[in-house]
A and B are shown apart, each in its own frame.
Chain A
């Protein structure tokens, strides 16, 4: 079983890597090591389908020779291979250019406090127990309605990982975390119409997973409600993003204020700091230290301390999302976001999902988006969609084979309301989001 002893052992290995880099002439170095174990069991049509045992490891190192940088990684952790990996990184640094912005984070930004974030809850479930749970979940879906015609199965997944990182400024930390999930995907059929949908639950602690039967029933309900969908005529109308897909809107926003896109001038939000990007009721912030949450960590992927902070308040952009390199390119300091944002949260209003439907009144409820038609440089947005047509706050019929389009700059400004029907399953926490108007293309 993985434990603190193991963390200590990996910390020693990381220190050896850093020492080896110094030995080979590097002026600075950063290294990470991870070990992962897991079990994934799926059942289909009442029988076990696959049992997968996961057992992986890997290390990566970045070395600096002054302002020149080289990186290497390997899954082979034999002493010879580790040495070769350091050599490969050092050799690359002979060919990369002097880059005045390259280097480790400023020492004073590195995390010095390491609270227990309650991320490690091993689930001692055997493969046989996992099969029973998966079958229970799938049964609940298959028995839900006569129109549930087929299944892609239910999957139980449990995973534990140790991640250790260190750098030549003396930072050396590691933690153990777990992640468990239960998912189900089924098909519904009526006449010629066949639809598939799924539901899942994910948590650091298996006790916080939704009940297997509830997940199965939700998967079945979601597949059934899509049957006999139709297209819409081409039009403009308000669009309600359901909570489980609304996080995608926020990730496009985060991408546009991320250092890499800003210093490359590849964002529709260039120089938008301290300007109105959202309507004034919008408040978006990061909570990296939430106990037991999926996105929690005391430090980012460079060791920089993470902090609770506002990104948007009163609709105004208050801070970019930066790692060390992009911050230096922009003449700013790292915001502790190397590797992304953590537990990004948007404040909800008073309306639940039904209230949001009423607020939408007549328009499109989107529950699924397809494709990657988002251009972060221009903000142009055009994606395939499926969902429901809503009139007077009441769902009328399922809709498919349409696209929704607009420009993100306008879409963010024209957010009308954020629901309190929050989806807690990801690292972004948002309720449903209502956008005032978008272009719908259909038949």
Chain B
């Protein structure tokens, strides 16, 4: 009840909204032809600080708050939102929303309270976790320590941001659930120059925690070191190869492969509509038997984790692929109901102003049995892609891309030269069937991922052990 009470205080009390008012709005939304309805309240306070050119250049603070109301009948959804959390406004929103469903018998709801069974992150307010001066000192320390690392460093940009978000969601069954979600992120970008050649690299991380996350174990300084290391590697990089070849993907962030190649294609909405290359394929082989992939919203403190999703459903560790066989999809309530299954706690929305959809949380592959060095040694000629930038997928054709930002040639089992970043392109439904070795070294990313779908951005995580793909197209220039 503690979180629920805090959420009431944060969102409802300032607006003078009582539980009885929520019942009124819900009653306005409901009728016998409504299959589902919800009211979503959100209050989000965030800040960001940027250090550039050796000075604290920018700071900003932002408050986003409002409520969204939704009614669903069959496959039809009515939705309205407002930045004003006021009873008359929300009642009018409910009227607008209800126009989508046929009128039926009136329904009455009484709120019951759903206590979160488990919390995967602390009830923290990152913005208040350090005095302002210490946030500034942290930025300055990372900036000055990073600049000392190499004479070739020309510019260092350090950013720090934090979000303190509170949500409260009421469902048509009367359940009222709440969550308090801290999120912090730090990023270091460096530009290096040598003999007129310039390169840049970024490294960052964070999670559902407060700013002490960056101070513990000098996490923040490590981002600077890693950014410099990658930028210096890129100074030496030659043209990347072009064509289909064996590729070894590093552990951790390269797990973006899973997010793009299979993750989106396994979201419930696309599969309910039959628009995904994976539609109707549960039980079929979609990967080699070395591959087991899960989407897990329950990992403590991770960027993609949630105690409950944005529909109030507790998150789960959902097995997507087990030993190469497709096991199931990620679901929100609407698509789960229409497909006759249970929500997997993947109903997420960017904010009160957008509709929820099935979205990923932390998507990763379980470790295998091969030593990472052994995997590299097994490749006669190929590419070792250690770090990546973004990716994208066409869920219907199954074609996906992801762009390497740090890569090396493998020649006769040895990592030889660094090559420039290049985009890799493959086909989601068959790329994992070409996975021939999976490392023991499962790593999750450092906490930087954001995923976009239909214009909505949500924080996510990815991860994987080192793995070997026996053929994927590498988009270099060296033909």
Contact = CB atoms under 8 A, between A and B. Distances in A.
A375 B473 contact: no
B132 to A, nearest CB: 5
Interface in A342-392: 370-373, 375, 377-378, 380, 382-384, 386
B80 A52 contact: yes
Given A375-B421, A384-B425, A370 B63 contact: no
B425 A401 contact: yes
Interface stretch (A228-236, A296-304, A313-321, A419-427): A228-236
A231 B399 CA distance: 11
Nearest to A223: B396
A295 B461 CA distance: 36
B63 A378 contact: no
B366 to A, nearest CB: 27
Contacts of A443: 244, 473
Chain B residues touching A, majority SS: strand
A52 B355 contact: yes
Given A187-B396, A265-B155, A382-B403, A71 B425 contact: no
B83 A234 contact: no
A49 B402 CA distance: 32
A251 interface: no
A80 to B, nearest CB: 9
Contacts of A75: 63-66, 83
A317 to B, nearest CB: 19
B76 interface: yes
A85 interface: yes
A407 B476 CA distance: 11
A53 B77 CA distance: 11
B81 A371 contact: no
Interface stretch (B104-112, B386-394, B442-450): B386-394
Nearest to B277: A194
B403 A405 contact: no
Interface in A38-69: 44, 47-58, 69
B397 interface: yes
Given A382-B475, A403-B422, A266 B191 contact: yes
B426 A401 contact: yes
Nearest to B52: A264
Interface residues of A, number: 76
Chain A residues touching B, majority SS: strand
A404 interface: yes
A150 B198 contact: no
B33 to A, nearest CB: 14
A373 B475 contact: yes
Contacts of A73: 60-63
Contact of A49 (B76, B275, B426): B76
Contact of B61 (A54, A89, A440): A89
A95 B135 CA distance: 10
A327 B79 CA distance: 44
A49 B99 contact: no
Contact of B82 (A55, A99, A370): A55
Interface of B: 52, 55-66, 75-83, 93, 96-97, 99-100, 132-133, 135-136, 154-155, 157, 191, 193, 198-200, 240, 242-244, 273-275, 277, 353, 355, 389-394, 396-397, 399-403, 420-427, 473-479
13 contacts: A56-B81, A70-B59, A72-B61, A85-B63, A194-B277, A196-B394, A235-B479, A264-B52, A266-B200, A370-B423, A377-B199, A382-B477, A405-B422
Question: Top 8 closest A-B pairs, CB basis?
Answer: A403-B475, A384-B401, A97-B55, A196-B396, A371-B401, A92-B59, A441-B242, A53-B80
Interface of A: 44, 47-58, 69-77, 81, 85, 88-89, 91-99, 127, 150, 152, 187, 194-196, 226, 229, 231, 234-236, 264-266, 370-373, 375, 377-378, 380, 382-384, 386, 400-407, 439-443
